[in-house]
Chains A and B, each alone.
Chain A
Amino acid sequence: DAKTTQPTSMDCAEGRAANLPCNHSTISGNEYVYWYRQIHSQGPQYIIHGLKNNETNEMASLIITEDRKSSTLILPHATLRDTAVYYCIALPYGNNRLAFGKGNQVVVIP
């Protein structure tokens, strides 16, 4: 599975868009990019996933570069409840073993 690289931590301003980067330069053609987050004391929460097209749902948008070597998760209007560890995971089609890594500790600042 492709290795992903994220910042260790970042702060975001409440009410502003939060742009969370992820590098996956060795991603292969059949690997999807998944984003999960874990809010303190809760289980991981699925956010969004995509293969090569940009995706949007009620929680976030996922922008994948044309060469698929990196992606950005966008939280359109960050709230204090978005404070969490965010995980970017590259997962081959049909593979179910999510590899969470260390993630990006995102703190939304009032």
Chain B
Amino acid sequence: EAGVTQFPSHSVIEKGQTVTLRCDPISGHDNLYWYRRVMGKEIKFLLHFVKESKQDESGMPNNRFLAERTGGTYSTLKVQPAELEDSGVYFCASSQDHRTGPQHFGDGTRLSIL
């Protein structure tokens, strides 16, 4: 069974540009989550999808971030325009059961804003 895959593994862009991160969850997992770790800080929750619906987006930092999951399969996280403080590692996770089911993580996208 393939795990959670994220693309790209690394991205380097300039301040003000746009970047789109992609996450492919484990097949059959309706729940998809985004987290991030910005430099020197702890890993923080961003949002949770159940199929194509946003269940909880309480962790989204501001309106420069847009997450989508059209069709309830893969998800994208767009940052537009990127700012220096957005640098960090963005993780995606998926789970079968949102109540107690464990979340399985991808290896993340390392985003560097210059």
Contact = CB atoms under 8 A, between A and B. Distances in A.
A43 B58 contact: no
Interface residues of B, number: 26
Given A43-B106, A45-B105, A97 B4 contact: no
B42 A96 contact: no
Q: Tell me the interface secondary structure of chain A in the complex.
A: loop
Contact of A99 (B45, B91, B93, B102): B45
A97 B105 contact: no
22 contacts: A34-B102, A41-B107, A42-B107, A43-B4, A43-B93, A43-B105, A43-B106, A43-B108, A44-B43, A44-B91, A44-B105, A49-B100, A94-B98, A96-B45, A96-B98, A97-B59, A98-B33, A98-B35, A98-B45, A99-B42, A101-B42, A102-B42
Interface of B: 4, 31, 33, 35, 42-45, 48, 55-56, 58-59, 91, 93, 95, 98-100, 102-108
